[in-house]
Amino acid sequence: MLNPYRTIPVTILDKKTLFEGEVWLKLDYRLDFKPGQFIEISLPGFGESPVAPCSDPIDNKFVEIVVRDVGSLTRAINSLAVGDKIHLRGPYGNGWPLKKLLHHDLIILAGGTGIIPLRPLLFNIINNPKKYGKIYLLLGAKDPQSHIFRDNFAVWKKKFFHFKTIVDQAPNNYLGLKGVITDLLKPLKLNPKKTVALMCGPEVMCPFCVESLEQKSIPSDRIFISLERRMKCGLGLCQHCNCGKYLVCQDGPIFDWETIKDELRR
């Protein structure tokens, strides 16, 4: 019987600081994963933590992750250099419901680092433009620097039907929009019959977005949300990640709003 707890040591091929405390890593490992799934990264002595890969799932010679310095493990990983090794295992979870997205317009909402599990899906959309309808991509962040993957913005603007970013706070000379993500969502005219909404971000953001989407008559079983919980084992055993009657590492991390709305308040 294979030991599902066993991790694989992988070499860091490239490293870039995206923003203070937030590091992008390219790892020498071929990972077969579906957009929206997560992996467990670890360093001996510092424990394990779930992160979502943010790279193209088709061009999977390497896997890319973004690690934000929020605890002892992430701090230690962020201090590593190119050539050092980290450990990983996975992927786990269900991923975005790709079949349900086919030939639909997609409204994609990401707050801050919420863009990370959505980025593999964006690659998928760009590679298969005929499979999807209109793409609306809205990104919100705390301030202009917190928008990660700014290098991709030009491509996204060109490839997607509608692309807008917004920030909470910005210096006076900032040229972009200031406000919250629902400010971008409200003026949009969406076709409720063929639109699917996907969102990931701070959990406080989601009910507001859902309210706005429901005003546009998008049914709650076509609104998908990626949840973050403490997925310690990823195998459905340790019980740290339950959200009401669902285990986020097994039944999630992607849930439709209809299923999960009552569980979030439990």
Partner 1 sequence: MVKRLSLDNISKFYALVAAEYTVYSPSQKGGLVSLEPKKYFDRYSLFKFQTIMPPKKVLLENVYDLESNPKEQKLAFFGIHLCDVKAIATMDRIFAKDPFYRAKRDDSLIVATGCQPTESCFCHVFGANKHQGFDLFIQEEHDGMFTVFAKSAKGVELLQKSKGKILMSASYQPIGQNQNEIDLSELTDAVENRRLFEQHWQGIANNCFGCGACTAVCPLCFCFDTIDRTDPEGGNCHRSRTDDACFFANFSKISNHDFRPENVDRLYNWYHHKFVRGPKENGDFLCVGCGRCITACPANLNIIRILSAIDNVFDRATN
Distances (CA, A) of 24 to 54, 175, 208, 262: 9, 26, 30, 35
Phi-psi region of 142 (alpha: psi -120 to 50; beta: other; left: phi over 0): alpha
- The structure tokens listed for 65 are 């992750």
List residues near partner 1 by CB under 8 A: 1-7, 42, 44-48, 68, 70-71, 74, 203, 228-230, 232-233, 235, 237-245, 247, 265-266
User: Minimum CB separation from partner 1 for residue 245, in Å?
Assistant: 4
d(CA 229, CA 246): 11
Token duo for residue 240: 């740290």
Min CB(154)–partner 1 separation in Å: 30
Here the tokens at position 218 are 């998008």
Cβ 66 to partner 1 shortest distance, Å = 14
Q: How far is the CB of 205 from partner 1 (least distance, A)?
A: 13
Shortest Cβ 45–partner 1 spacing (Å): 5
- CA distances 2 to 94, 147, 160, Å, are 21, 40, 43
Other C-beta atoms lying within 10 Å of the C-beta of residue 204: 8
CB neighbourhood size of 137 (10 A): 25
* Lookup result for tokens 């490992």: 29
Smallest gap from residue 210 Cβ to partner 1 (A): 18
Cis peptide before 9 (omega within 30 of 0): no
Taking the least distance from each CB to partner 1, the nearer of 57 and 111 is 111
For partner 1, the closer of residues 5 and 174 by Cβ is 5
Nearer to partner 1, 43 or 107 (CB): 43
For residue 254, the SS3 value is strand
Cβ proximity to partner 1, 122 vs 199, nearer residue: 199
